[in-house]
Chain A
Amino acid sequence: DAGVTQSPTHLIKTRGQQVTLRCSPKSGHDTVSWYQQALGQGPQFIFQYYEEEERQRGNFPDRFSGHQFPNYSSELNVNALLLGDSALYLCASSLPAWAPQKNTGELFFGEGSRLTVL
């Protein structure tokens, strides 16, 4: 059973460029969340997608946008990149609403995409 997979694992961009990161959730999961983890910091919540809609959003500017596809996979897009966007971007998935384990709150994380902005 594949876990959460993310691509690419590493990428380098320059200021002002745009980037798209991709995530495939764990099999059977329908909810995807994205987190930004700066060096030496804990992950910070960007947004969450369920049923192809953004359901919750953290304190991130509109330059950060996302999408969820019918197969539950997701993309994170960042426009007009800044040096401060350099970070590890984590995708996490979780169980469907009807699953009895839903209320555990457990998220399953991918290994992340490390973005460097020069």
Chain B
Amino acid sequence: GNSVTQMEGPVTLSEEAFLTINCTYTATGYPSLFWYVQYPGEGLQLLLKATKADDKGSNKGFEATYRKETTSFHLEKGSVQVSDSAVYFCALSPMGANSKLTFGKGITLSVRP
């Protein structure tokens, strides 16, 4: 079946540090890949997505590239801010559109001033 594996957390960084959060997946065919973020006291919201191999999703300074050869979708940001403190979830959708999402366990990011 489909699965998503995220690196273990939590992660604590200083402001302006470089961020990498690893995500690998197992799926048949060509899933769509997503990063969702959950800020304190808020619902999950889409951060970025990629629907085919070699696509790069980007938003709010975050980037992730769909790597089919390594079945990965690592999240990166060059300079994190305190406001980026949140829980980050990697997810996949096997049909890419309006389909059920399989989520990783999530990782908590805390950014210190």
Contacts and interface: CB of A to CB of B under 8 A. Distances in A.
Interface of A: 3-4, 31, 33, 35, 40-45, 48, 56, 58, 90, 92, 94-95, 97, 102-112
Most buried by B among A3, A42, A107, A110: A42
Interface residues of B, number: 26
Given A42-B89, A109-B44, A109-B45, 20 more contacts: A40-B105, A41-B106, A42-B105, A43-B103, A45-B101, A58-B100, A90-B43, A95-B98, A102-B97, A103-B97, A105-B34, A105-B49, A105-B93, A105-B97, A106-B34, A106-B49, A107-B46, A108-B45, A109-B36, A110-B43
Interface of B: 4, 32, 34, 36, 41-46, 49, 51, 89, 91, 93, 96-106
Contacts of A42: 4, 89, 91, 103-106
Most buried by A among B4, B51, B98, B101: B98
Contacts of A97: 98
Contact of A105 (B41, B42, B44, B99): B99
A83 B87 CA distance: 25
A102 B43 contact: no
A94 B98 contact: yes
Contacts of B36: 109
